[in-house]
């Protein structure tokens, strides 16, 4: 771990965020396995350093857009675990009142403009949010999380060109876990990959070890500073590894066991804990951070499971105001 510019305090804050993301998703996996959480569930276990490092470089009024694997982005930006877990459980009290679920977590109050069920769906929204913020006279920026699969969709190329053209304050974050659903990204991606594409369009790109939380934070801080100075968009290519399958029910059995074992040895939480241990933090303190996160998320799960279902009439709310009186919309 290079740790340049890193210090123990920053590392502890990152570890706390990553532990909370890990504990949230492990609790969600348990809830899904128990039949408590319906629908698809995409977890980011193994990728926590990217969400934690990037969001630690952002201000409260900066915005983010996210993808289908977005629990970590939301938590790192400041969303609360209880309403997130309620949403996963489809219960009243969820961030979206149970209408969105895991793939559509949003908390506009912390600048989290929504996870997205469509790959690359958040990219045009992010550049537009940046353009709107500039029109309103704000100096807030937008961080846009997407995966390696998204770089083969048109909106990626359109969005980068657009952001560069209008010099918009956007940090594109490619969270490269090497797999697009069930397919190795390298087998479906021609050329030099995300950074080469960004550079070709005129968006300066930087690569970072996405399993090194302090390195991600350092890189994100540098890029955010450039963006906030008016330098236009930047792209951060963070290489990481998805330790689990595409969804909670996908064992990803096609992967070689030795590959996964090697990846586990590089996983970001253990690495950060090792760095902290080497910098004088006692094992008991690290264990306490983990235990605190697990207790918080276990409580969120208990609360969500005990929470009431949404009133069925709420299925008819928030569609549109105009024409809402029309009988065929009503129960």
Partner 1 sequence: MIEALRRAAEQEMLRDPRVWVLGEDVARGGLFGQYRGFLERFGPERVVSTPISESTIMGAGLGAALVGTRPIIEMRIFDFAMCAMDELVNQIAKVRYMFGGQGRASVVVRMPHGIWRNSAAQHSQMLEAWFAHLPGVVVVAPSTPADAAGLLVAAIRSDDPVLFFDPKDLFGETGEVADPIGPIPFGTARRVRHGEAVTVVTWSAAAREVARAAEALASEGIEADVLDLRTIWPWDEEAVVASLARTRRLLVVHEAVEVGGFGAEVVARVVSRLGPGALRAVRRLGAPRVPVPFSPPLEAALRVTEEKVAAALRAVAAV
Per CB under 8 A, the list member of 16, 30, 152, 161 interacting with partner 1 is 161
- From 81, 121, 245, 268, residue interacting with partner 1 (rule: CB under 8 A): 121
Q: Which residues pair with 234 in a beta bridge?
A: 171
As measured in angstroms, the least distance from the Cβ of 106 to partner 1 is 4
- Position among 37, 85, 127, 224 found at the interface with partner 1 (CB under 8 A): 127
Considering the rule CB under 8 A, would residue 70 count as an interface residue with partner 1? no
Burial class for 153, CB neighbours closer than 10 Å (0-12, 13-18, 19+): middle
Q: Quick one: which segment of 45-53, 110-118, 208-216, 232-240 binds partner 1 (CB under 8 A)?
A: 110-118
> In sequence order, which residues have a C-beta less than 8 Å from that of residue 251 and are 6 or more positions away?
245
Question: Per CB under 8 A, does 326 bind partner 1?
Answer: yes
To the nearest whole angstrom, how small is the minimum distance from the Cβ of residue 109 to partner 1? 8
Instruction: Show contacts with partner 1 in window 291-320 (CB under 8 A).
Output: 317-320
Site track for partner 1 across 162-191, x = CB under 8 A = x--xx-------------------------
CA separation, residue 258 to residues 14, 176, 262 (Å): 28, 20, 6
Q: Please, are residues 326 and 319 in contact by the beta-carbon 8 Å criterion?
A: no
Q: How far apart are the first and last CA of the chain?
A: 58
CB-nearer residue toward partner 1: 11 or 129? 129
Q: Which two tokens stand for residue 309?
A: 């279902």
Q: Other C-beta atoms within 10 Å of 131: how many? A: 17
- Whichever of 3 and 97 has its CB closer to partner 1, that residue is 97
Using CB under 8 A, which of the segments 29-37, 112-120, 176-184, 256-264 binds partner 1? 112-120
Is 24 an interacting residue with respect to partner 1 (CB under 8 A)?
no
Closest to partner 1 by CB, 12 vs 92, is: 92
**In angstroms, rounded to a whole number, what is the distance separating the alpha carbons of residues 83 and 201?**
39
**How remote is the C-alpha of 223 from its chain's centroid?**
18
CA distances from 133 to 11, 62, 154, 233, 303 (A): 31, 10, 24, 14, 36
Among 5, 154, 192, 231, binds partner 1 (CB under 8 A): 154
Q: How far is the CB of 261 from partner 1 (least distance, A)?
A: 38
| 3-state DSSP helix/strand/coil % of the chain, to nearest 5 | 50, 10, 40
Contact residues for partner 1, defined by CB under 8 A: 63, 65, 94-100, 104, 106-108, 113-114, 116-118, 121, 123-136, 138, 142, 154-155, 158-159, 161-162, 165-166, 317-323, 326
């Amino acid at each position: 771990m290079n740790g340049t510019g890193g210090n123990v305090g920053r590392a502890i804050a990152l570890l706390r965020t990553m532990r909370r993301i890990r504990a949230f998703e492990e609790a969600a996996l348990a809830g899904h396995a128990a039949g408590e959480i319906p629908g698809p569930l995409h977890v980011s276990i193994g990728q926590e350093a990217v969400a934690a490092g990037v969001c630690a470089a952002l201000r409260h009024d900066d915005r983010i857009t996210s993808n289908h694997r977005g629990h970590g982005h939301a938590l790192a930006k400041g969303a609360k675990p209880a309403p997130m877990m309620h949403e996963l459980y489809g219960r009243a009290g969820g961030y979206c009142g149970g209408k969105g679920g895991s793939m559509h977590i949003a908390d506009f109050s912390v600048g989290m403009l929504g996870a997205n069920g469509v790959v690359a769906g958040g990219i045009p929204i992010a550049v537009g949010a940046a353009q709107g913020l500039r029109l309103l006279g704000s100096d807030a920026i937008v961080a846009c999380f997407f995966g390696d699969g998204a770089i083969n969709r048109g909106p990626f190329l359109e969005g980068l060109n657009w952001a560069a053209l209008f010099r918009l304050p956007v940090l594109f974050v490619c969270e490269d876990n090497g797999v697009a659903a069930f397919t190795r990204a390298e087998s479906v991606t021609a050329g030099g990959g995300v950074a080469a594409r960004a550079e070709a369009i005129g968006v300066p790109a930087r690569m970072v070890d996405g399993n090194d939380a302090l390195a991600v934070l350092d890189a994100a801080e540098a890029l955010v500073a450039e963006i906030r100075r008016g330098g236009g968009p930047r792209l951060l290519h963070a290489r990481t590894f998805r330790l689990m399958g595409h969804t909670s029910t996908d064992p990803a059995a096609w992967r070689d066991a030795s590959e996964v074992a090697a990846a586990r040895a590089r996983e970001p939480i253990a690495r950060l804990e090792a760095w902290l241990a080497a910098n004088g933090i006692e094992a008991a303190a690290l264990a306490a951070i983990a235990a605190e996160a697990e207790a918080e998320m276990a409580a969120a799960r208990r609360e969500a499971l005990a929470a009431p279902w949404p009133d069925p009439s709420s299925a008819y709310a928030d569609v549109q105001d105009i024409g809402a009186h029309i009988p065929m919309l009503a129960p």
